[in-house]
Amino acid sequence: MKEYKHLSLRIDEEMLRKFRYVCKYEGRSANRQLLIYIRDAIGAFEKEHGPIEPEQTEP
């Protein structure tokens, strides 16, 4: 079974309200929406700079 990690985020109130609006519009939880944004950002980075190998990341 995959082990999931926790991540804390500091965000101002207006941005949080707008983010929640986007999540509701998309029909997703905030967690799921953030995972999609993170996946897309990593994909864009790897497209421009090449794959990130596991040994390049810190545990």
pTM of the model as a whole: 0.83
| Average pLDDT, 10 consecutive residues per value, the chain (59 residues) | 92 98 98 97 97 88
Rounded distance, CA 54 to CA 41, Å?
Answer: 17
Say what the pLDDT of residue 37 is: 98
How confident is the model at residue 58, as a pLDDT?
82
> How many Cα atoms occupy the beta-carbon half-sphere of 32 within 13 Å?
7
What is the model's pLDDT at position 55? 87
Locus of tokens 């804390």: 8
